[in-house]
């Protein structure tokens, strides 16, 4: 069993609560209220800003030049590509850049991003990447599941663009590379003595990701 699969198995209850949250299921069948999705989009924009900070921390925590380059590529992808795509997606939901930049951060967004940064500050690069894994890798798994829903790609489903973006080949490749890098780090730095600590980080990060969905789900 791979390192990531061991993490998922150890946190199976939290992983199911996150990847099968009612918010995601409602996106698949198109029944999610617009207000819930708009709230999520705003907070996800703020999340991306903090996500870039986490990758900047990954550069600092990187023990090798190759690791530094991998983290730097992540920063560029977020700041130069993903945030622009997110702004375009938000425009389709009548959310302007000013709406995004001036929105107050939700407690759930702050809780998760602060946890990730704290895990990285206290630990090494592997600890940080374990904390990031539920988001980076989890979104690919969630979108793949949602894309298989019979109504996911229907023209009447307002969430089909979001599903297609994360289920599409470009993002799936991003997630696959993140998983491969996580496995490589685990091969270097994950010892049996550390595994319980790393599982605890993964479990908490996954729980906080589920809270992020719940934040949007409550706005109905």
**Which of 43, 22, 18 is closest to 31 using CA atoms?**
22
> What domains are there in the chain, each with its CATH number?
3-215 (1.20.910.10)
Q: Which residues contact 32 (CB under 8 A, 6 or more apart)?
A: 23, 26, 159
Closest alpha carbon to 18 in 158, 133, 168 = 133
Q: Output the six-digit token pair for 29.
A: 């069948």
Residues annotated catalytic, as ranges: 135, 209
Helical ranges in 148-168 per DSSP H: 160-167
Per residue of the chain (220 residues), what is the pLDDT tens digit?
999 999 999 999 999 999 999 999 999 999 999 999 999 999 999 999 999 999 999 999 999 999 999 999 999 989 998 899 899 999 999 999 999 999 999 999 999 999 999 999 999 999 999 999 999 999 999 999 999 999 999 999 999 999 999 999 999 999 999 999 999 999 999 999 999 999 999 999 999 999 999 999 998 7
pTM: 0.94
Side-chain half-sphere CA neighbours of 183 within 13 A? 13
């Amino acid at each position: 069993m791979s390192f990531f699969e061991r993490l998922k198995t150890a946190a199976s209850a939290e992983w199911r609560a996150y990847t099968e949250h009612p918010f995601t299921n409602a996106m698949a069948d198109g029944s999610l209220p617009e207000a819930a999705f708009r709230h999520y989009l705003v907070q996800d924009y703020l999340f991306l800003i903090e996500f870039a900070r986490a990758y900047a921390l990954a550069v600092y925590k990187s023990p090798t030049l190759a690791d530094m380059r991998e983290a730097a590529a992540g920063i560029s992808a977020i700041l130069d590509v993903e945030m622009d795509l997110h702004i375009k997606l938000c425009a389709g939901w009548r959310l302007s850049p000013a709406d995004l930049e001036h929105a107050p951060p939700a407690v759930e967004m702050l809780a998760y991003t602060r946890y990730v940064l704290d895990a990285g500050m206290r630990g090494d690069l592997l600890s940080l990447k374990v904390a990031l894994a539920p988001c980076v890798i989890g979104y690919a798994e969630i979108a793949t599941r949602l894309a298989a829903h019979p109504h996911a790609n229907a023209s009447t489903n307002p969430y089909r663009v979001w599903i297609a973006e994360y289920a599409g080949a470009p993002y799936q490749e991003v997630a696959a590379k993140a998983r491969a890098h996580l496995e490589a780090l685990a091969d270097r730095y994950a010892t049996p003595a550390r595994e319980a600590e790393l599982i605890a980080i993964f479990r908490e990060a996954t729980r906080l990701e589920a809270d992020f969905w719940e934040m949007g789900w409550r706005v109905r």
